[in-house]
Chain A
Amino acid sequence: MIEVMLILFAPLIGGLMYGFERVLRARMQNRKGPPLLQPFYDMYKLLDKQAFIINPYHTVLGIMHFLTLWTVVAFMIFGQNLLYIIFLHLLSVIFIILAGFSVNSVYSHVGANRELLSALAYEPILIIVAVGFFMMHGSFDISVIRQNSASIVPLFLLFLAFLLLIPLKLKKSPFDAAEAHQEIVGGVEIEFSGVYFEFIYIAKWLEYVFVYLLLVLFAGNNAVLGTVLFLGVFLLVNLVDNATARIKMKHVIQIVLGIALTLGLLNLAGLSYV
């Protein structure tokens, strides 16, 4: 029952995380920042806007992106197979990419292209992280991983590799070229508006839930460690976001694939020798 509630409230939790992040970032920059509930006020305001659509394919694919991502989060909360979840997540990414390409807008195309390229960078790493968990726990099932004790020490290098993915997945500096408001005005988001943009907006929150649910897997059944990890990484990611500048997509792929893949490989090779 608690799981169903969690799934239903997952977008709200994601929204709160997003709101908290904005407050935190403002404090880091010595500003007051928006209230915690600002994302929800934004949502409410969007409801009032006139609805514009470019073409039905674009809008439907955007809605599907949101629905699939919610399903992914639901599967995670239910403790399903991690590898399967990674592929289902890929499906949600594919929907948004197809949406980006279905309109004749340069920014949308560039954004969708970059989205594809970042999927190219993080998918293999996610698969390797899943294999790392499999080697530790003998199963891909999240429910098993959650029951066993924390695996962050033996999987430390994989954990570092995963840290590199978080800014990429959440589109934070220095890996935020896929969204890059100053140059491509949000990429795939640009052509969504009004009530249909809400789906994309909530999907962004769900992305937070997805990433941090993956993160706490490293803590296993240790709730305290899980909380510490979550808060620590949340702080770190925002600190890095504030302190760094955006880099080119080409370099994002080189850095993420180069470093994270090496770290992951070393970790798995080490595990197989133990």
Chain B
Amino acid sequence: MYATLILAPLLFALTVLISPLRLRNILSIVFVLFLSAVSIGMNLTLHTPVEASLHQLFHPLFILLDTLVLLYFLWQGVVKNSSLVMLLALLQIVLFGIVLSLSAALDSNDILIESTSTVMYLLINIVGGSIIVFALHYIESEAFGRFKKNAFIAILFFFLSVMNFIVSTNNIEIFFLLFELTTLCSYLLIAYRGEGVSVENSLRALWMNQLGGVAILAALIFSILHYDTVHFDILIANIEEVYLLPIVLLAIAAFVKGASIPFDKWLLGAMVAPTPVSAILHSATMVKIAPYLMLKLAPAMNGFVSLSITLLGTFVFFSAALLALGKDYFKEILGYSTIALLGLMMALAALGTPEAIRACLVLLIFHAISKGLLFLQAGILEKNFHLKYVNDINGLINHSPLVVFFITVGFASLTLPPFGAFIGKFMAIESIAAEIAGSPLYLFALIFLALGSVFLTLLYFKVLTKLFAKDMDAEAGNASPHSPTAYAEISKYYTFPSFLLLFLLVAGIYISFEKELLDSMEIIVPLLLIGLVPLLFATLLFKKAHRVKEYNCGEKEQIKLNMYYFHMPRRIKTYIALTATAALVILMAGVVL
């Protein structure tokens, strides 16, 4: 079954590449449904971990692919005149050569599918699939040639295949190849528009992710030299307290992929790409490798490593939330909140208690759904309303209640009971609170978590207030040409995936009900309260009440109120990056010594 999930998207990618428009759209939807069905099947049928070995012939193929990818990076470095990319590609080629020259005696299976993997399958295929459906229409509104448009969809399918593979593999060498392939995909997608900014940002994404590749190769070398293995399960089973270097290097690779501060710039730079790219990078693919890898490594961590990563992760959660408060660009706000939540997920994974791992998984799933939903709305705002900045969204509720509804649900589901991401955060506080008795240093993790989650709530509702605010321009009749027109028609390709993700959120509430993550009262009551809002809107017509203008202490002057911002001096950003870097250095130094 796992082979279907890996190979089918490859085939689909080739098919959509050469299909004409109508056929491509129909086929893509069928493919997405197929992948979703298979991933659900996998999730329901897997009870014990599946192990399998790949045929011997695959290994030379993987080595060939690895070499090709690294050479491609080198070539891009030369062509695009980026010495950093070039140097890192060369370094990777040298290290990869060293890895190939070494041989490991302890052998294990290449494929290992655990329950975490099947959860990831669901995310990748269902959430990722919805975004592909969204992208079908989105990409048609861009001015590119037919082939380039089809290639966009094809790369997205290829991305799904790579992601499905990366969560199934047990071999660090194969993991490295797939890690590089996701880097390649994101590089191609970010550079898709081909203008100056896109190329610049894609190169930044490339070299930052190459750092992660270097870390994995170094981890491989140390793992072969000391533990004599290239397999995750053997490495973790034989781990010695005094030699955690491979684990920490892999954790650093996770930090890079998860765009954790100080590696956050690549994910924020990815905003220049078409919106479905941001959606898929943030929700279903790429960054989700980080918490997944951390979950895999958690059993091998000792007290020091686990504490440092927890502290760093919660620090990232806090600082990314803080930095987001000063932003106005809708996608950037979403980007910072992704960085924040990924930091939290990694912190929880590193904490490693059963409850923390459960919290991490809950966050992983629901963050993907909510972020997918929000990014799709960002795409709709951009395409249908030509809106990118939060301050311009004034009174969207008068123009598209549906989009407002989706955005509200998206933000609410990240903060409020009874949605999954709330439950995740709630469990996070509980599991960190349980650790404080053991080590008071976890207090800092708790403070970061408490402050960070309040900042995020503030941030989300700062954006939401704008949606409900009164539309002064439209009322005064001087609407600018970019202002949304009343009740804009939104394509079904846009609303269908949004409804699908909404359905997943609701299904998530049902599942948390079944699994008793919260008391039944604690789920039902807020659900009723939140459900009451649209109900009251619909039923309370206030017929007897007189409509009046704002009292406003009798002031007659018409006023236009804008959004408030928090001023973030540049130095704060520098301090945060320095602190995070210092934490990573301390982590490395602590393990080496």
For residue B564, which residues in chain A have a CB less than 8 angstroms away from its CB?
A: 113
Shortest beta-carbon contacts, A-B, top 6? A101-B465, A51-B545, A105-B550, A124-B450, A127-B450, A272-B440
Given A56-B542, A120-B458, do A268 and B533 touch, yes or no (CB 8 Å)? no
- On whether the beta carbons of A87 and B458 are closer than 8 Å, the reply is no
A interface, size bucket: 35 or more
B79 CB–A CB distance under 8 Å: no
Pair B446/A128 contact, Cβ less than 8 Å:
yes
Whether B518 sits at the interface, judged by CB under 8 Å, is yes
The verdict on B61 contacting chain A, using a C-beta distance below 8 Å, is no
The smallest C-beta distance from A66 to any residue of chain B, in angstroms, reads 11
Which of A50, A61, A84 touches B417 (beta carbons < 8 Å)?
A84
The residues of A that contact B440 with a CB separation of less than 8 Å are 268-269, 272-273
Tell me whether A80 and B521 are in contact in the complex, defined as CB-CB below 8 angstroms, given that A268-B440, A272-B437 are known contacts. yes
In contact, A123 and B454 (Cβ under 8 angstroms): yes
Known: A102-B470, A127-B450. 5 other contacts (CB 8 A): A56-B542, A87-B416, A103-B550, A104-B561, A268-B440
Given known pairs A71-B525, A272-B437, A272-B440, the reply for A64 and B536 (CB within 8 Å) is yes
Residues of A close to B472: CB separation below 8 A = 104
Given contacts A55-B470, A80-B522, contact A94 B550 (CB under 8 A): no
A116-160: contact bitstring with B at CB < 8 Å (1 yes, 0 no)? Answer: 100110011001100100110000100000000000000000000
Can you give 24 contacting A-B residue pairs, CB < 8 Å?
Answer: A52-B546, A53-B548, A54-B548, A55-B470, A55-B547, A57-B537, A64-B532, A67-B532, A71-B529, A90-B457, A91-B416, A91-B529, A94-B457, A102-B465, A103-B470, A106-B561, A116-B458, A119-B458, A120-B454, A123-B454, A134-B433, A269-B440, A272-B437, A272-B439
Asked if A214 is at the interface of the complex by the 8 Å CB criterion, the answer is no
Interface residues of chain B, those whose CB is within 8 Å of chain A, are 397, 415-417, 422, 426, 429-430, 433-434, 436-440, 443, 446-447, 450-451, 454-455, 457-458, 461-462, 464-466, 468-470, 472, 518-519, 521-522, 525-526, 529, 532-533, 536-537, 540-542, 544-553, 555, 559, 561, 564
Is A222 on the interface with B (CB-CB < 8 A)?
no
Query: B426 and A268: CB pair below 8 A?
Result: no
Residues in chain A near residue B455, CB distance under 8 A: 120
**Which one, A103, A124, A134, contacts B454 given CB within 8 A?**
A124
Specify which chain A residues have a CB less than 8 angstroms from the CB of B552 in the assembled complex. 104-107, 190-191
What is the CA–CA distance of A254 and B439 in the complex, to the nearest angstrom? 28
Given A60-B533, A68-B529, A94-B457, A52 and B548 touching (CB < 8 A)? yes
Q: Find the B residue at minimum CB distance from A194.
A: B545
Chain A residues near B462 (CB, 8 Å)? 116
Query: Which residue of B422, B540, B555 is within 8 Å of A56 (Cβ)?
Result: B540
**Chain A residues with Cβ under 8 A from B553's Cβ?**
107, 185, 190
Nearest-CB distance from A111 to chain B (Å)?
12
Q: Which residue of B has the minimal Cβ distance to A67?
A: B529
A127 partner residues in chain B, CB cutoff 8 A: 429, 446, 450
Which residues of chain B have C-beta atoms less than 8 A from A140's C-beta?
A: 430
Distance (whole angstroms) from the CB of B440 to the closest CB of chain A:
4
Neighbouring A residues of B526 by C-beta, 8 Å: 88, 91
The distance from the CB of B160 to the nearest CB of chain A, in whole angstroms, is: 35
Q: A191 touching B551 by the CB < 8 A rule?
A: yes
Complex Cα gap A124–B452 (Å) = 9
Contacting pair A53 B547 (CB below 8 A):
yes
Contacts of B525 in A (CB 8 A): 71, 75
Report whether B532 and A53 are in contact in the complex, using a CB–CB cutoff of 8 Å: no
Given A55-B470, A272-B436, A50-B546 contact (CB < 8 Å): yes
- Once the chains bind, are A109 and B470 in contact (CB under 8 Å)? no
Decide if B533 touches A131 in the complex (CB within 8 Å): no
Tell me the minimal C-beta distance from B558 to chain A in angstroms.
8
The interface residues of chain B lying within 8 Å CB-to-CB of A101 are 465-466, 468-469
Nearest CB on A from B321, distance (A): 11
Q: Give every chain B residue within 8 A of A268 (Cβ-Cβ).
A: 436, 440, 443, 446
Q: Which B residues touch A109, using CB under 8 A? A: 561
Closest residue of chain A to B562 (Cβ to Cβ) is: A109
User: What are the interface flags for A263-274 relative to B under an 8 Å C-beta threshold, 1 for contact and 0 otherwise?
Assistant: 001001101110
In the complex, how many angstroms separate the beta carbon of A82 from the nearest chain B beta carbon?
Answer: 11
Given A55-B470, A107-B552, A116-B461, CB of A84 within 8 Å of CB of B518: yes
